[in-house]
Amino acid sequence: MPVITCIDDLKRLHRKRTPKMFYDYAESGSYTEQTFRENTSDFAQIRLRQKVAVDMTGRSTRSTMLGEEVAMPVALAPVGLTGMQRADGEIKAARAAAKFGVPFTLSTMSICSIEDVAAHSDAPFWFQIYTLTDDDFNKRILERARAAGCSALVITVDLQLLGQRHKDLKNGLTAPPKFTLPVLADLATKWRWGIEMLGTKRRFFGNIVGHVSGVEDPSRLSSWTAEKFDQALNWDRIQRLMEMWGGKVILKGILDAEDAEMAAKVGADAIVVSNHGGRQLDGALSSIRVLPEIVAAVGERTEVWLDSGIRSGQDVLKALALGAKGVMIGRAYIHGLGAMGEPGVTAALEVIRKELDTSMALCGERRVADLRRENLLVPKGFF
Ligand code: FNR
């Protein structure tokens, strides 16, 4: 068992053990990747303010997200093709999250279906929807999520069309992969991935194949969904979808205070300040830079969370100190999954919780609810 001390350790193992096509799919941003890079480099510009001689006993990272008790305010973000990083990846991630006591979100574009994940995990999870033009599909998938006991719906609002990621085009990304010579050569050193994958039947997009007529050929699926994403999505349609669901809703992918106002107006229970991990609008600002403005605009009316760029507990602390009530992580747990499967996701969560706990203590804070702007040193003109 390798010694894991930080998310970077998991990232290195992920790269070593997972087919290049899927590692690249996770570890890339759109076009020039400026936003992808700045998501992490902007966090690094914010420094923590050390406080000494403060009683640090009785600390806790526990908090709530949407009224649910969590071991720390960190949820697993929806990530498409998680079941290609490791066989049954969504089930493994959901189980690790449930045992750890944090929420897991299942993507529309997952390999394991909603029903598969529900059957293999004890805790309720959240379901993320990409709205398609086909309202019948939207309705049916919401019914399935409800029947599976999903406790909240995440509506992703920043992907009416797909941002271009160069590596995916160059690698000829498909799920499952087509066994071309370069893919086979790559798999020669990653045979464990192949054996696990052969051992599962879940190798196709479980939420879609077999549930939508005309998608019996899974290799056509990504182009099919790209065609079907709802480019006409607007606030009325979002509101209709929220009514169709009838339960708690999180709107994910907001970067602008006016959009946050609209999200609060339509009654979102939470919003996620997010640029989709730098995978959509290249050139957009990092989430952490726009967070305070959005908290100031709507923080009293809805829970404001953040994702994009979180790779450590220190990053979580910074987001919470700037007013986020919680965060989501994407790549940080995907690296864990690709590195070591379910124990890798647990390792990623352990690393982040320990870093958050230690950094809180050294900042002189004992409760996440007490974190505030004064815990940080932010360069002039940063926001
Ligand atoms: C994503 N993200 C995403 N979001 C979503 O709403 N539905 C999805 O299917 C996906 N798929 C997806 C795949 C991969 C490989 C990544 C890396 C990301 C975005 C995700 O939910 C989250 O917003 C980002 O991952 C946050 O950024 P970090 O934590 O990865 O930097």
Cα of 40 from ligand 1 centre, angstroms: 15
State if residue 287 touches ligand 1 by the CB under 6 angstroms criterion. no
Residue 128 annotated as binding site: yes
Tell me the C-alpha distance between 173 and 61, whole Å.
39
Residue nearest to atom 18 of ligand 1 (CA): 79
Q: Confidence class of residue 220 from pLDDT cuts 50, 70 and 90?
A: low
For residue 32, report the phi and psi dihedrals to the nearest 5 degrees.
-80, -10
Question: Which pLDDT score, from 0 to 100, does residue 255 have?
Answer: 98
Residue 89 Cβ contacting ligand 1 at under 6 Å = no
Q: Which atom of ligand 1 is nearest to the CA of 274?
A: 23
Cβ 21 under 6 angstroms from ligand 1? no
- Is residue 23 part of an annotated ligand binding site? no
| Of 19-23, 213-217, 282-286, 316-320, minimum mean pLDDT range | 213-217
The finding on whether 252 has its CB within 6 A of some atom of ligand 1 is yes
| Residue 14 designated active-site | no
d(CA 187, CA 178): 12
Decide: 304 and 270 in contact? Cβ < 8 Å. yes
Please report, for residues 74, 150, 286, 373, the alpha-carbon distance to residue 366 in angstroms, rounded to integers and kept in the order given.
17, 32, 28, 15
In this predicted structure, the answer to whether residue 223 has a pLDDT above a threshold of 90 is: no
Alpha helices, DSSP H, located in the chain: 7-17, 20-26, 34-45, 82-85, 89-100, 114-120, 135-147, 166-171, 181-187, 191-198, 221-228, 235-245, 257-265, 287-298, 313-321, 331-340, 342-362
Class of domain 7-377: alpha beta
- Enumerate long-range contacts of 77-80, CB under 8 Å, 24 or more apart: 77/105, 77/277, 77/307, 77/328, 77/329, 77/330, 78/105, 78/106, 78/107, 78/108, 78/110, 78/126, 78/128, 78/154, 78/156, 78/252, 79/26, 79/107, 79/330, 79/334, 80/107, 80/108, 80/109, 80/110
pLDDT at 217: 63
pLDDT of residue 228: 85
The interface predicted TM-score (ipTM) is: 1.00
Length of the chain: 383
Asked if residue 341 has pLDDT above 70, the reply is yes
Establish whether residue 303 lines the binding site of ligand 1, counting it when its CB lies within 6 angstroms of any ligand atom. no
Task: Give the closest residue to 173 by CA, choosing from 130, 137, 135, 225.
Answer: 225
Distance 276 CA to ligand 1 centre (A): 5
Q: Does 312 show up as a binding residue in the annotation?
A: no
Cβ(109) – ligand 1 distance below 6 Å: yes
So where are the chain's domains?
7-377
Token output for 244:
């169709």
Pocket perturbation via mutation, ligand 1, pick of 276, 291, 306 by most ligand atoms within 8 A of CB: 276
Rounded average pLDDT over 70-77: 98
What average pLDDT is seen over the chain?
A: 95
Q: Measured between alpha carbons, how far is 312 from 14 in angstroms, rounded to an integer?
A: 17
| Cα–Cα distance for residue pair 44/377, rounded to 1 Å | 11
Beta-carbon contacts of 170 under 8 Å, excluding residues fewer than 6 positions away, are none
pLDDT digits (tens, 9 = 90+) for 181-198: 999 999 999 999 999 999
195 is in an annotated binding site: no
Ligand-binding site membership of 331 (annotated): yes
- Of 249, 274, 279, the one to substitute when testing ligand 1's pocket (max ligand atoms within 8 A of C-beta) is 279
How many Cβ atoms are within 10 Å of 201's Cβ, its own excluded?
Answer: 9
Q: Which residues of 35-70 are buried (b: 16+ CB within 10 A; e: fewer)?
A: bbebbbebbeebebeeeeeeebeebebebebbebeb
- Could you tell me which of 303, 289, 297 has the C-alpha nearest to residue 250? 303
3-state secondary structure of 183: helix
Residue 308 Cβ < 6 Å to ligand 1: yes
Interval between CA 78 and ligand 1 midpoint (Å): 6
Q: What is the pTM of this model?
A: 0.97
- Range in 13-17, 113-117, 170-174, 257-261 with the lowest mean pLDDT: 170-174
Q: Is the pLDDT of residue 209 over 80?
A: no
Percent helix, strand, coil in the chain (nearest 5)? 45, 10, 40
